[in-house]
Structure 1
């Protein structure tokens, strides 16, 4: 009986030394969904860029500027004084804007959106508008053309702006109050 207990003890000791085996996933997915999504987004951006470029060709009198962030704009009113500041992180920006579709149809008027106060990069604002505000000085007005990825993207605004809708926004900076805690 002692040999049986000793043999059982040795077998248990040997089996307990086995390294844990990694569990394999139940299902294996490839990157095909992500790859397809990337391809769809590239085609969408190319189509929207083409629409915006066509619009710019129709309005050659405007001096269009391509931003580093992937949208286009021109100044309706440009302030040439270099001493004026552009907004930086934490600055309070008071501005008005409207939102139009690429065909010029008004989606939201300046009156409907009212005057906005925005703490730079501390509050929610769609990407293109947030980046566009950083380009303007007090008293300037610019018209921005945003592809949908810089506007409201896939979800839209869940009201008047649909999925993947490129936008035109005319923005006027009324004032910039610098953040005192810089």
Structure 2
């Protein structure tokens, strides 16, 4: 069935060859127009997601507070705390949820002795880790642009999915 669908789509695409826009391969060079279109798409998507997240917040009993990086936390004054410096170590774990509050992975994502400035993490998680106290738990509401963006995680998280992240400093 998949082969039949693939062949059908391939046939349709080849019939319409003259009107198709050519896309460079991954890592290829995009024109300024393509970059502007992509930037505008992300700006529009971010606006829609912010409205969706704000509506979700309005229906919760817990208060959430905006952070400068474009995500929300459930701790007042979180963004006013002193930040951890580069080259300091932290151990942490987090669970990922969608906005239906369905847990995405059965087990949490964990890192031991990660060093700031030398680990690759979701931008919102890294920013929150700089403010979190040892042993503290915080919930992050993260638009897709700060989560897995337009590609997803290539496992269970699709593209353009905002996330709820329950983060704990160990």
Name the TM-score, length of structure 1 as normaliser: 0.68
Q: Indicate conservation of the 8 Å contact 2:123/2:147, yes or no.
A: yes
CA shift, 1:160, in A, is 1.1
| Deviations 1:76-116, CA, capped at 9 Å, x for gaps | 9x9xxx9xx7532111111121001111111124x342454
CA shift, 1:65, in A, is 1.2
Distance 1:130 1:30, change over 3 A: closer
**Corresponding residue for residue 85 of structure 2:** 88
Structure with bigger gyration radius: 1
CA shift, 1:38, in A, is 1.9
Cα RMSD, aligned residues only: 2.3
**Corresponding residue for residue 44 of structure 2:** 43
Q: Indicate conservation of the 8 Å contact 2:140/2:166, yes or no.
A: yes
**Corresponding residue for residue 113 of structure 1:** 109
Question: Which sits farther off after the overlay, 29-38 or 165-174?
Answer: 29-38
**Corresponding residue for residue 96 of structure 2:** 99
Provide the rounded CA distance (Å) in 1 between the counterparts of 2:167 and 2:69: 17
CA shift, 1:75, in A, is 3.2
Distance 1:68 1:114, change over 3 A: closer
**Unmatched tracts of structure 1, length 5 or more:** 1-28, 175-182
The aligned length equals 138
Residues 102-141 of structure 1: pairs in structure 2 closer than 5 A:
102-109=99-106, 111-114=107-110, 116-141=112-137
Work out which structure has the larger RCO, using CA pairs closer than 8 Å and 6 or more positions apart in sequence.
Answer: 1
Q: Indicate conservation of the 8 Å contact 1:90/1:122, yes or no.
A: yes
| Deviations 1:27-62, CA, capped at 9 Å, x for gaps | xx9743222222211110011101110110011x32
